[in-house]
Amino acid sequence: MHLKRLELNGFKSFAHKSEFVFDVPIIAIVGPNGSGKSNVVEAIRFVLGEQSVKSMRGKTGADLIFKGSREIPKMSRASVSIVFDNIDRVFHLHQDNNNRINVDFDEVVITREVYSDGSNKYLINGNEVRMKDVHELIASVNIGASGHHIISQGEADRYLNANVKDRRELIEEALGLKVYQYRIKESERKLQRAEDNMRESELLRRELAPHIRFLKRQVDKIEKAKHLRIELMSQYQVYFAQEDYLRRKLGSDLDIEREQVQKEYAEVQRFIDNYGDSNETDVFPEELEIKKAQNQINEINRKITSERQELGRIEGMISLLEKQQRDAQSNNNTQIETTHPGFSFEVVREFLTDLLTQIDLMGVSTRITFGTIKKSIEDFIKTPVSEIQTESRQIDNTKEISVLENSKVSIQKTISEFQLIIDSTEVSIKHWEESLHEKRAQYQESQKQYYEYVAKKKELDARRQIIMSRDESLGLRSNARNEEYTEAKVLLGVDSIEYQSIAVEHELEITAQTQEQLRREIERIKIRLEDIGGGSGVELIKEYEETMERDQFLEKEITDISTSIESLQSIISELKESLNAQFDIGVQKINNEFDRFFKLMFGGGKAQLNPAEIKKRKKKSNQEDQLNIIDELEEEESTEYGIDINVQLPRKKVSDLDMLSGGERSLTSIALLFALSQVNPPPFLVLDETDAALDEANSQRYGDMVESLSKYSQLVVVTHNRETMSRAQTLFGVTLGRNDASTTLSLRLEDAKKYAK
């Protein structure tokens, strides 16, 4: 890893962008006084995180920005970028929270910008970072913000002028142990914050103590109320668990009963509706058939009667004709009028007319049978009396009797047929009467069942009304339960009462009466709780519990902080042990090189670094935990360790640094610086006119040492010494131009020698 280039823009006297390329082991920056050579060194200090503006010859951050000239206006910001070669990937960050910063590049560019208001911005490879990140990064390659690698004009002997403590810090930085200091300081800052937090927590806890004691006394007074609340909560849990069970049971029973009643009601209603449709009249079909059959029998009986009447007439006529035949045989020549003085043809005519009417009323078969007779009778009736009398005498009585006998047989047959019809109809009537009897019995049974269903419907209507009433009562019970639940939450000061997991025992014994007894017990507890101020007790207990939680939190926080303090103290102790161990090893190596270079510079003598103890006393306060009173101030002694420098000049008895001359101090500082560089060589070393006080002989020795040192570190030398210039491979000339801004000119000595030849 080596320094590649330095870019300045608006920094101090460098108004325009200026670039210094460091591609050789030794670079010399030369130029007249006041041209801006030292500004280059200060730019390196600035970009590496120097915070002291005074060390960069300024008062504020704005003094680092170009002020302007007659030709160039004043600038609002200045920036410096330094570029390192990182092919070997030597740069790294130790802090876990810096994983976001990626330095896995061939070049690492650190940039710092300052603005006219004094604010600063740091960038690593273009990413804005913290100053702490820059310090962490450069510490990983043994570079510090103002460490041993930059020795400015007038500060060559700062190792000699520093006190033992500061000298130790400078040497730690030179040894690359600054990272331990960063971690120790970071741990100490965390330790200090932890101790501050502990003191603050202890103070808060002391402030809470009187209030806790007051609340405790108040809580003791309402302890009984607390137990009552616990008992009330328990009773409420049982009550609500049983109440929910009872309401579910009543609701379930009610639903079952409602469903059963509704089912029965639907069946009854369906029967009544169907009964009304099938029993609209009390007349049965059999009755109509029987009535119709009886009417038919009556009609046939009337016809039979008519036929019998006709049969009687025919029998009378037959008797009459037979009698006439008998009379004719006995009185063959006697006239009918004489034999029968009462015989009248008008009477016979009237009789025959009635006979024709009766024939028309007979059945079809009878009318057919009497057709011939009817025709004879009609002709007889139309015949005049004289003719009848004449013809009657001519009638063949035997023939007429035969015809009448046939009519008689036909009528008898018709009567027999009518009788058969009557017998058949009577059988049907008997069957119909039997069926009618059965149907009337069924109808009566149906009527009985109908009235039973009507009565059952009325009963079911009453049960439905009762169910509706019970349903309303269950709704009122649910409302009362909800009101009780709301009141319970207010009394107990909770968002909800967890009772769902409580097992309901003796379920068969849970009734409305048992619930009412439990509710009365709850009311008694509520009255007792109200008598002792249960409402205010809830708030007081809540406040006490919150205060105790706060106190317990502070106690836990103090315990955690104590653990953290112990851990931090252990870490600091381990870091210091590691630092001291590596520091002792480093000091031993430095002493070897320091003594060698010292003898080389002075031609003999002796020089070494020795540890030095510093005793310090500080006051501490003894505080009483409960009363927070500072009783007295005590002194506590602490020990710090530094580094002392002991030198022995050749041919002199001088061993005190204050007694050395200016040249001797410079040579001693240079020997120490070169010794540090040999033990833990930094990537680069800046020497700002450190050879100004050397004579020609010592300048040559100085040049030899510079060449030897360039094998381990890049050297940037600001010098007026020609001997030192001759050892450089590249010269950068800095001069002040006409525009009052610094300008640069670079020259390689090899090229210059070729040009001179």
Element (H, E) at 170: helix 164-174
Residues 6+ apart with CB under 8 A from 314: 404, 407, 408, 411
Q: What's phi and psi for 9, nearest 5 deg?
A: -145, 105
pLDDT at 172: 80
Residue 311: predicted pLDDT: 86
Which residues contact residue 480 at a Cβ distance below 8 angstroms, ignoring those fewer than 6 apart? Answer: none
Determine the pLDDT at residue 5.
92
Q: Is 176 exposed, middle or buried (0-12, 13-18, 19+ CB in 10 A)?
A: buried
Dig out the tokens for 673 from the structure. 């610086």
Contact 55, 146 (CB under 8 A): yes
Give the predicted TM-score (pTM) of the model. Answer: 0.47
Q: What is the CATH number of domain 1-149+714-757?
A: 3.40.50.300
pLDDT for the residue numbered 628: 47
Least Cα distance to 24 among 699, 691, 707 occurs for 707
Q: What is the pLDDT of residues 588-630, one digit of tens each?
A: 888 888 888 888 878 888 888 888 877 766 655 444 444 444 4
* Residues 6 or more apart whose Cβ sits within 8 Å of residue 585: none
Q: CB neighbours of 570 closer than 8 A, spacing ≥ 6? A: none
Residues in Cβ contact with 553 at an 8 Å cutoff, skipping those fewer than 6 apart: none
| Spatial separation of the C-alpha atoms in residues 28 and 342, rounded to whole Å | 203
Per-residue pLDDT, 340: 45
Q: Roughly how many angstroms between the first and final C-alpha of the chain, as a whole number?
A: 35
Mean pLDDT per 10-residue run, the chain (757 residues)? Answer: 89 91 91 88 89 83 88 91 90 62 88 92 91 83 64 66 81 76 86 90 89 82 77 84 84 86 85 67 75 88 89 87 79 49 53 62 54 61 54 63 86 88 87 83 80 86 87 87 85 77 67 86 84 64 86 89 90 87 87 85 84 70 45 60 84 74 78 78 82 80 82 87 89 87 84 60
CA distances (Å), origin 241, targets 29, 245, 494, 640: 95, 6, 17, 74
Q: What is the pLDDT of residue 240?
A: 84
- Residue carrying the six token digits 């005074």: 54
| DSSP H or E run through 114 | strand 107-115
Residues 6+ apart with CB under 8 A from 22: 2, 3, 4, 5, 6, 684, 714, 716
Task: For residue range 352-391, list pLDDT tens digits in order.
Answer: 666 666 656 555 555 555 555 666 666 656 655 555 554 4
Residue 131: what are its φ and ψ, rounded to 5°? -60, -35
* Burial class for 590, CB neighbours closer than 10 Å (0-12, 13-18, 19+): buried
* pLDDT confidence of residue 80: 95
Burial 205-235, CB ≥16 within 10 A → b, else e: bbebeeebeebeeebeebeebbebbeebbeb
For tokens 């650190």, name the residue: 110
Looking at residue 151, the DSSP 8-state letter turns out to be E
Residue ranges of domains in the chain: 1-149+714-757, 285-449
Q: What is the DSSP string of 211-264?
A: HHHHHHHHHHHTHHHHHHHHHHHHHHHHHHHHHHHHHHHHHHHHHHHHHHHHHH
The pair of three-digit structure tokens given for residue 353, joined into one six-digit string: 């007319």
Closest among 5, 25, 23 to 727, alpha carbons compared: 25
